Structure 1
Amino acid sequence: MPEIPRVPAHWRFPAHPASVRRARHAVVESLPDVLRPRLGDDLTLLTSELVSNAIRHGARRPADEELIELVLWPADGHYWLAVSDPGAGKPALARPDADSEGGRGLVLVDSLATAWAVRPRPTCGTSVIAGLAFQQSG
């Protein structure tokens, strides 16, 4: 008999800067207690960067009309976080110089995540998916 997977955690937040804090809290609180010390800080940072980018670059209408979607799920020894927005842009890794004031969000994601990718959504929008590896206690 196959093991039944956990149902992914799923949230929708307004595309507003105040949602970044709410998203961080929701994601970390959904982790099993035993994994919070190992994954909590990195997952908080990934959530902050990806949600901030989705709000800044993916929202097309006023913040109170637009939603950012998050999904968190464990699979294959990783916790995967997908942050989706309605925008059509494709986020890309940049290498800003020392004087640049921005452009480091995906550099941070690239250094923290075991793997990450940008995927178009089936209907409209874009998702950035990042995974953090974990070891199950046996």
Structure 2
Amino acid sequence: MPEIPLVPVHWRLPAHPTSVRRARHAVAESLPDVCRPHLADDMGLLTSELVTNAIRHGACREDEGLIELVLWPADGHYWLAVSDPGTVKPRLARPDTDSESGRGLLLVDSLAAAWTVRPRPSRGTSVIAGLSLQPAG
């Protein structure tokens, strides 16, 4: 009999700055105890960056003011997808030293084992990032 996978954890949060902390806490609490020592800090940073970007750049209007998060284990990684109703495809930037923003995806790129941007089937964009379940080192 095949191993039955875990059901992904899913949240819908308002596109408001207070959701960043809520999302970070919810994701950390959903990680299995055995994974927390080596995943919690990096997953918290990924969550903060991706949710912040979704709120700033993807939430278009008040009536569409929700972002969605999905967390699931697969293929030796824990994956986080953060989705918003926006149509702008996030891209890696190279801000100059005087810029006060634009470094979020650079952080995601350095932390994640892999990440990508995908259009949603109906409307919107998802950024998906994965962290290895194996501790580094």
Give the TM-score normalised by the residue count of structure 1: 0.95
Instruction: Please state if 1:116 is matched with 2:129.
Output: no
Structure 1 unaligned spans of 5+: none
CA distance in 1, matches of 2:41, 2:96: 26
**Cα distance between partner residues in 1 of 2:4 and 2:68:** 24
Maintained 8 Å contact 2:64/2:85: no
Partner of 1:131: 130
Once the two structures are TM-superposed, the CA of residue 135 in structure 1 deviates from its matched residue by 2.6
Q: Which residue number in structure 2 is paired with residue 37 of structure 1?
A: 37
The number of equivalent residue pairs is: 135
Report the counterpart of residue 26 of structure 2 in structure 1: 26
Q: Tell me by how many angstroms 1:65 deviates.
A: 4.9
| Aligned position for 2:72 | 73
Q: Distance in 1 between matches of 2:14 and 2:121?
A: 21
Normalization by structure 2: what TM-score? 0.96
Which aligned segments of 4 or more residues in structure 1 are displaced greater than 4 angstroms? Answer: none
Report the AA paired with residue 84 of structure 1: S
Distance in 2 (CA, whole Å) between partners of 1:19 and 1:79 is: 21
Match of 1:87 in 2: 86
1:54 and 2:54 aligned: yes
Amino acid at match of 1:48: S
Following the alignment from structure 1 to structure 2, what is the Cα–Cα distance between the partners of residues 12 and 84?
Answer: 9
Q: Is this contact kept in 2: 1:14–1:65, CA < 8 A?
A: no
Q: Percent identity?
A: 80
Mapped contact 1:12–1:67 kept (Cα < 8 A):
yes
SS of equivalent to 1:34:
coil
